[in-house]
Amino acid sequence: MNRLELQRAWVIHRRPYREGSYLVDLITERDGRITAVWRKPKRGSAGEPFQQITASWKGRGEVKSLSKVENSSPPLQLGAHALYAGFYVNELVYRLLPVADEHTNVFAAYEYCINGLASSPHFEPELRRFEYELLLTLGVWPELNYCVDTQSEVEPTASYWVSVNEGVRKSDRAFNESFTGAELVELQNNLLASDNSRRLFRLLVNQLLEGRSLKSRELYRDFLLGSETP
């Protein structure tokens, strides 16, 4: 896939490559996630996370080569907690978004989220909006008020298990990762404002990760522990 016309992109991950270049992962406006070689410029920053660029690339293999980079702006400056939230969003894109699939909705949601993290101290709503758009785009967002076992709406006092593969299933008992029917109806009707939204998204994201850990979560946990140390 050659992309000779310029399009906007955000840097989500960077690592050293050959001398004078980096290997960068980008979320692009029209072509989803790509991996490309970016030669270090003589001036300015190259391929830092949270950096927006306008670029074109060439190459038919999995790794592209950036042929032109314009309007390379400095990386966004995120505050302490927002920085780790940004790492989390970048890692979700890197781990879960397929390479070279067109995902314009995810790009728009990513851009909205990252700019929100840079401008607002309240980052939880930004994360939930992005997680929702990502799961919706991947085709795994369940209908929360519908039980596939009974093929009817959930019952307020019953317990349910939510799965990205199977939807909402009835549970014989309540446990840490289960939800009542009333909680699911609340989530369906008012997802971002619900007290249970963080728990739901963590459950669904963990299912997609299939046992893989997120480095961003570990870093944030270490940051919180360190900030509590006198």
Asked whether the beta carbons of 99 and 35 are under 8 A apart, the reply is yes
Specify the pLDDT at position 73: 77
Over residues 163-197, the pLDDT tens digits come to: 999 999 999 877 778 999 999 999 999 998 888 99
Over residues 20-77, the pLDDT tens digits come to: 889 999 999 999 999 999 987 776 667 889 999 999 999 888 899 999 888 777 889 9
**Domains, the chain, ranges and CATH?**
3-70 (2.40.50.140), 80-139+207-227 (1.20.1440.120), 146-195 (no CATH)
More confident: 150 or 43: 150
Give the residue from 38, 130, 60, 66 showing the smallest Cα distance to 93.
130
Specify the pLDDT at position 227: 55
Residues 33, 139: Cα–Cα separation, whole Å: 17
**DSSP element (H, E) containing 13:** strand 3-16
8-12, 69-73, 84-88, 184-188: lowest mean pLDDT where?
Answer: 69-73
Which 3 state secondary structure label does DSSP give 222? helix
Residue-level length of the chain: 230
Question: Residue 226, Cα to own-chain centre: how many angstroms?
Answer: 25
Tell me what the pLDDT averaged over the chain comes to.
89
Share of the chain above pLDDT 90, in %: 65
Give one DSSP letter per residue of 57-69, joined into a string: EE-SSSEEEEEEE
- In what side-by-side order are the strands of the sheet with 152-153? 152-153, 146-147, 167-170, 159-163, 179-180
Specify the pLDDT at position 160: 96
Asked whether the beta carbons of 52 and 73 are under 8 A apart, the reply is yes
Q: What is the mean pLDDT of residues 121-126?
A: 87
70-74, 213-217, 223-227: lowest mean pLDDT where?
Answer: 223-227
Q: How far apart are the first and last CA of the chain?
A: 53
Asked whether the predicted pLDDT for residue 229 surpasses 70, the reply is no
Q: Which residues contact 65 (CB under 8 A, 6 or more apart)?
A: 36, 37, 57, 58, 59
pTM of the full structure: 0.89
Look up tokens 């004078």; give the residue.
20
